[in-house]
Amino acid sequence: MISDPIDAELSKSVRTREPREKALRLRQAISRGTAMDPRIQYCVTQIEHKILHESTEHNTHDALIQDLASQIGLTRFHLARLFQKYLQLSPRDYIHRSLMGRCALVIAHTSQPIFSIAIDTGFSSQQAFTRAFTHYWGISPHKFRDAHCRYAAQYARRLGEGARTRPSIAPVIEHLGQVSFWAVRYEGMSFERHACWNDFARLCDPLAPEIRKGPYFGLTYDTPMFVPATLMRYYCGIRASGNPGQRPDGAFEIALPEGRVASVQGDFLMGEIPGIYDELLNSWLPTSGYTLSAACFVEQFYELPRHWDEHRTPMKLSCWIQRLH
Q: List, for residues 57-84, the tens digit of each pLDDT value.
A: 445 678 889 999 999 999 999 999 999 9
What is the model's pLDDT at position 58?
A: 45
**Residue 27 pLDDT > 50:** no
pTM, to two decimals: 0.75
163: in domain:
no
Together in a domain, 256 and 115? no
Q: State the average pLDDT for the chain.
A: 81
Please report which confidence band the pLDDT of residue 314 belongs to, taking 50, 70 and 90 as the band edges: very high
What is the model's pLDDT at position 110?
A: 82
Q: Which of 131, 106, 137 is nearest to 291 (CA)?
A: 106
Together in a domain, 12 and 154? yes
**281 vs 133: CA distance, rounded Å:** 21
150: in domain:
yes
Together in a domain, 144 and 75? yes
Together in a domain, 77 and 182? no
**Residue 252 pLDDT > 50:** yes
Q: List, for residues 224-243, the tens digit of each pLDDT value.
A: 555 444 457 789 999 998 88
Neighbours of 127 (CB within 10 A): 11
Residue by residue, DSSP assigns 76-116 as: HHHHHHHHHHHHSS-HHHHHHHHHHHHHHHHHHH----HHH
For residue 311, give its domain range.
172-323
What is the model's pLDDT at position 15?
A: 47
273: in domain:
yes
**Residue 21 pLDDT > 50:** no
Burial, 208: exposed, middle or buried (Cβ in 10 Å; 0-12, 13-18, 19+)?
A: exposed
What is the model's pLDDT at position 34?
A: 46
137: in domain:
yes
Q: List, for residues 204-218, the tens digit of each pLDDT value.
A: 999 999 999 989 999
